[in-house]
Amino acid sequence: MFDLLRPLALACSVTLGTLYLAGCETNPVTGRSQVMIVSEEQAQVASAQAYAKTVSQARSQRKLDTNAARTARVQQITSRLVAQAVRIRPESANWKWQVHVLDDPSVNAWCMPGGKMAVYTGLIEKLDPTDDELAQVLGHEISHALLQHGRERMSRAVATNAALTIGSIASGVNLSGLENVAMIALELPNSRTAETEADRLGIEIAARAGYNPNAAVSLWRKMAKASGGGGAPEWLSTHPSDERRIANLQQLVPTMMPLYQAASRRGDNSARSALGS
């Protein structure tokens, strides 16, 4: 049996290798080589569809933007951050940015390819973040989209499905194509490298938008405290350790302070809304 499976395993390896080699791209912001089997257009279209479904379901369950003041706060902070994100990736000005607050007890937030964002009430209620701290969360998630980490996860999901499809020939299992790849990718963890990249860019975006970089440190101290009992929240399952993350952010604060101070002097405390409803 094992002898019969060797050619299949080799074919699977070759196919995956071909997919990965064909899909490698160099990220223009970080310079890191990323496997991108899924095109950016495909990632954004799939994400928009998945996001619309998520929003529609939350609305039907009366779990969407249930507190007007809280939603307005999130949207106002996000608008300031998006204005700075567009300076880093000008093409993102054409994205149809959206953010909603979902009534869910999880300590969670995310941003899909194309700027489709959600913040969970659990994060706001359990962490009680200041505006500066909430800006660090949102800046981190926006950075994932700018750095195409969601597209990277989607490509990983597609590659994994390709391997499973080839493997199903031996087992006789009939596997259909990958469904809801955008939502599946959203559940996949980012690599530690991607998390570190998003931390670095996120604190910069927040500083340029006029939010105090020191809040990144206080935010993750709150995160560490929140994860102290009963295990870490899902959002942090594969992130760098709390100690390492806080130490890295502390090292970044002196570099980011001039950006924050310059934004404060300019009075960059507002931004034209680029968010859809």
Nearest alpha carbon to residue 220 among 196, 186, 255, 193: 196
| Residue 17: both structure tokens together | 């290798």
Task: Give how far Cα 109 sits from Cα of 50, 72, 90, 100, 210, Å.
Answer: 16, 16, 24, 10, 21
Check: CB of residue 81 under 8 Å from CB of residue 132. Answer: no
Is 141 tagged catalytic? Answer: yes
Q: How do strand 98-102 and strand 116-120 relate by DSSP bridges?
A: parallel
Taking the CA atoms of 80, 236, 247 and 125 in sequence, report the sign of the dihedral they define: positive
From 25, 41, 91, 141, the catalytic residue: 141
State the Cα–Cα distance between residues 146 and 89, nearest whole angstrom. 7
Catalytic residues: 141
